[in-house]
Amino acid sequence: MPAPNAAPDETTDDGRTVLDARDIGRALTRISHEILERNKGGSDLVLLGIPSRGVPLAERIAERIASVEGYDVPVGSLDVTMYRDDLRMKPARALLPTQIPSGGIDGRTVVLVDDVLFSGRTIRAALDALNDIGRPKAVRLAVLVDRGHRELPIRADFVGKNLPTSLVERVRVRLQGVDEVDAVTILGSTEGEGA
């Protein structure tokens, strides 16, 4: 595993580190400000993280928004497992919690937060899941990494880092609280997490 202070583009046994903890922090701060600017404040926002790493990212964005705006933006989680179109092709997955903030999402601007945007299929599943929960005023997408290779016409509104990759590479996001370190690495084979 790379050291917590691994420099971006440092190659380790776990792949090439392209974002370290400081880079991730800066990206989330920028995303938070872009969300506030686009929404003209945070009064009607709801952040929904897509498990597993989208949830801590949503919480970090909410903390940054609170430090700027002076109030807490509701944060929840949205499990999309049962809405995926590849359920029959992949091994069974554990269901993770869906937690919608007490005010709901009707008439609110929902920002879906995920770690990596790849084919777009996870986000399509998230949009289907939202339809079963309520009717937001608008839905936006914030991702830490956009690696390209879209299979559906889906685009992120807020991106921490555009990271062009080949199809054989994997992007692995690790976050404090879930993993031992904050880092984004590129793995050369199909082994690893993320994407």
Per-residue pLDDT of the chain (195 residues; tens, 9 = 90+): 344 444 555 555 578 999 999 999 999 999 999 999 999 999 999 999 999 899 999 999 999 999 999 999 999 999 999 998 877 676 666 778 899 999 999 999 999 999 999 999 999 999 999 999 999 999 999 999 999 999 999 999 999 999 999 999 999 999 998 999 999 999 985 444 443
To the nearest 10°, report the CA torsion of 184, 187, 193, 195: 80
**What is the distance of C-alpha 135 from the center of its chain?**
21
Task: Write down the pTM of the prediction.
Answer: 0.88
72 and 102 Cβ atoms separated by less than 8 Å: no
Fold (topology level) of 21-85+97-165: Rossmann fold (3.40.50)
Q: Which helix (H) or strand (E) holds 47?
A: strand 45-49
Burial 60-99 (b: 16+ CB within 10 A, else e): bbbebbeeeeeeebbbbbbbbbebbeeeeeeeeeeeeebe
The one-letter code for the residue type at 17 is: T
